[in-house]
């Protein structure tokens, strides 16, 4: 199957693609450059991938931009990442508005610098009514922290008499997750050759198709994205059923 967009690609595209954008630091190191150069090059890929996702018919694109564990990196790198985030919010604004794409975030953004939070809220407000697609940044996000916050809120409802423990269902939990209102990812891509979820959408990706590529994120462009989407179409998604059951 060629790495091109055709009618088959559009009709069978994953509704939601999530990406772990990995390999920026190694990309820079192999070129004798500072790690931040890898992050800068990686950030420049986002517009291309947003466009490729839209062209493929993907309605939700979630990017793992900054994990809750990334605070443990060297302070100068964290500061540089926050600066890149602020720049990206400005540089991508016109593209999102022009293409009527809604901007959202998951994760606890309360810990981000004030100027980043202000930029995030402004862009959310400016794009909230758009319906051509959705770009979601996972910022200060980790699945374990997300679940902790969800359980905490459910416990508060139980303590307040708003919820009976025996009435708790999966929907009760799902409604408290950061991804409330967002469909679970159909395809989860990780670049750079690593093969793990790294605390990313671990609950939501329960039935996602996983795609791992050795390509570093700064080199992951439109062709690589389409390749992943085409690979997704080859997969048989059974959700616990057998192939024969699906055929019926």
For the chain, give percent helix, strand, coil, nearest 5.
Answer: 50, 15, 35
Burial per residue of 177-199, b for 16 or more beta-carbon CB atoms within 10 angstroms, e otherwise: bbbeebebbbbbbbbbeeeebeb
Cα gap 21→191, rounded to integer Å = 6
230 assigned to active site: no
Does the annotation count 22 as an active-site position? yes
SS3 labels along 138-152:
EEEECHHHHHHHHHH
Measured CA to CA, the distance from residue 149 to residue 169 in angstroms comes to 17
Give the active site residue among 3, 70, 95, 99.
70
Q: Which of 3, 7, 12, 22 is catalytic?
A: 22
* Active site members: 22, 70
């Amino acid at each position: 199957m060629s790495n091109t967009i055709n009618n088959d690609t559009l009709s069978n595209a994953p509704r939601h693609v999530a990406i772990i954008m990995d390999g920026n630091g190694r990309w820079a190191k192999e070129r004798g450059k500072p790690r931040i150069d890898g992050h800068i090059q990686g950030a420049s890929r986002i517009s291309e991938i947003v466009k490729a996702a839209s062209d493929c018919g993907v309605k939700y694109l979630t990017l793992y931009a900054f994990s809750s564990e990334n605070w443990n990196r060297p302070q100068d790198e964290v500061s540089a990442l926050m600066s890149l985030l602020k720049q990206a919010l400005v540089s991508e604004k016109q593209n999102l508005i022009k293409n009527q794409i809604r901007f959202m975030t998951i994760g606890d953004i309360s810990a981000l610098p004030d100027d980043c939070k202000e930029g995030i809220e402004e862009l959310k407000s400016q794009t909230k009514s758009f319906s051509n697609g959705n770009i979601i940044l996972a910022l200060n996000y980790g699945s374990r922290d997300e679940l902790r916050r969800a359980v905490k809120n459910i416990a508060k409802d139980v303590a307040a008499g708003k919820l009976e423990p025996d009435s708790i269902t999966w929907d009760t939990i799902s409604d408290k997750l950061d991804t409330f209102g967002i469909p679970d990812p159909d395809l989860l891509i990780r670049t750079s050759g690593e093969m793990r979820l790294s605390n990313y959408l671990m609950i939501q990706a329960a039935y996602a198709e996983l795609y791992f590529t050795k390509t570093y994120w700064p080199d992951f462009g439109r062709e690589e994205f389409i390749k992943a989407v085409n690979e997704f179409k080859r997969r048989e998604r059974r959700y616990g059923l057998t192939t024969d059951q699906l055929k019926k």
